[in-house]
Amino acid sequence: MLRAAESTLKTDTGRQRRENEDSAFVRAPLFVVADGMGGAQAGEVASQIAIEVFEQGLPDSGSPEEQLAARVREANQQIYSRSRTEHGREGMGTTLTAAYLDDAHLAIAHVGDSRAYLFRDGKLTRLTEDHSLVEELRRQGKLTEEQAAEHPQRSIITRALGPEADVEVDTFTYRVRAGDVLLLCSDGLTSMISEERVGEVLRSSQTLDEAGNRLIEDANTAGGRDNITVVLFRLEEVGSDASTDQPTMVGDVAPLIPSEARTSGSDQAARSRSEEPALSSRAAKAGSSAVAVAPRVPRVSRISPTQAGQAPSHEAQRRHVGKPLAALITVLVVLFLVGGGGYLATRQLYFIGSNPQGIVTIYRGLPYSLPAGIHLYETYFVSGAPASLVPPDRRSQFFDNQLRSQSDALKLVQELELGRISQ
């Protein structure tokens, strides 16, 4: 039987933030990292609500994946309710990555762009996939790893706890071994240093505490643009004489095990009542490239909010693609949007263009069109200024489909209407 023999939790505000919106929880066999968003106070509140839900332990029934997902949905509902009833909390949310050790199996629940990694035999393997705009484009082959790492919209996430009443939770299970080291972290780490560097630090550190400190230091040295949180734990066989300083194990990552091969809910519930002391930290958002992504079973499905197409211009907003799969793609996208996974991308992002009448217009959503004339955006504000008023040297600022905040888009269009942007 495996247990977490050594664990550490490190968190830091970073060098460019005033507040730490990250929160984390460590009480073997349960480990959680949450990265808040929505402003210093709101982001901190959202991530802390999520951690407080997990501090209750896992439910008494269901598989480990089901237990984790139940807690994530409970946290989502609490954050959503607070954001709608308390002034100043509108739009708050958090990412969340949780791991539960069940003997030789590690169950993970994941929403957002915090990450989980496995370090084995000197090799770092990413266990989760980011729910971000740039990661969706990278998976579709529209961006290379290098382009994704430097993309200006790499901090935009497409799924989080809080913005919608319901949230889609990715869950999966990995087979683990004695000697494995698991890393959970907020993107304040992976947006600042490469996964190659993370692996180097883990290989050269004598203890997990040392590794955690060095990772925080490296992220700050690289700029520390965001809050940084690191949770590390090493696995050992119960009764093993293995040294607690040795973090590696020979072998490759085992594939996910099918749900029917997992142990019963009562077995996990008994193991979840650990008496070990808990470490909890209240402690915001940016992405990086992959070293390796572990395989997953087909039952874990994701629908990208950016499937199909280039950014629309006003001359070509109505496209008709007569392909047999158009109806299927449309259904998948509608299901995705209805399910709430694309909320952040479709409700909190704006871009400027011109409508078919040639009037400067603000759109809400993502600047992409799908087959069968489905758009991932909607008209938000039609100005009183024709597109011809935009000077040639400023046209890229208005018509390059750059994603903006609501206030930024409105301010730019209003300056044009007031004649402050002239030929």
Inter-residue contact 404 to 378 (CB < 8 Å): no
Orientation angle between helical segments 208-221 and 195-204, nearest 10 degrees? 140
Is 19 part of any domain?
yes
What confidence score (pLDDT) does residue 324 get?
Answer: 47
pLDDT 10s digits, 203-262: 999 999 999 999 999 999 999 999 999 999 999 998 644 444 433 333 344 444 433 333
- Which of 237, 264, 282 is the last residue before a domain boundary? 282
What confidence score (pLDDT) does residue 281 get?
Answer: 66
Q: Rounded to whole angstroms, how far apart are CA atoms 274 and 260?
A: 25
57 shares its domain with 201? yes
Is 230 part of any domain?
yes
Is 289 part of any domain?
no
333 shares its domain with 220? no
258 shares its domain with 352? no
141 shares its domain with 194? yes
Q: Give the chain's domain count.
A: 2
pLDDT along the chain (423 residues), means of 10: 93 94 96 86 91 96 96 97 87 95 96 97 96 80 74 77 94 96 97 96 97 98 96 86 38 40 36 49 41 37 32 39 50 52 63 85 85 78 79 86 87 78 67
Inter-residue contact 79 to 161 (CB < 8 Å): yes
237 shares its domain with 107? yes
Q: Cα–Cα distances in Å, from 216 out to 97, 317, 410? A: 19, 46, 38
Is 293 part of any domain?
no
pLDDT 10s digits, 312-343: 444 334 333 344 455 555 555 555 554 544 55
Is 296 part of any domain?
no
236 shares its domain with 339? no
Inter-residue contact 49 to 32 (CB < 8 Å): no
269 shares its domain with 377? no
Residues spanned by the domain of 118: 2-282
Element (H, E) at 222: none
106 shares its domain with 149? yes
83 shares its domain with 124? yes
Give me the DSSP letters along 147-191.
Answer: HHHH-TTTT-BS--BSSSSS---EEEEEE--TT-EEEEE-HHHHT
Is 288 part of any domain?
no
152 shares its domain with 68? yes
357: phi then psi, degrees, rounded to nearest 5: -90, 5
3-state helix, strand and coil shares in percent for the chain, rounded to the nearest 5:
30, 25, 40
Contact partners, residue 221, CB within 8 Å, separation at least 6: none
178 shares its domain with 257? yes
Find out whether the peptide bond into 29 is cis, omega within 30 degrees of 0.
yes
Q: Quick one: CA dihedral 251, 262, 236, 97, positive or negative?
A: positive
Length, in residues, of the chain: 423
344 shares its domain with 220? no
How is residue 131 written in tokens?
């729910």
CATH number of residue 261's parent domain: 3.60.40.10
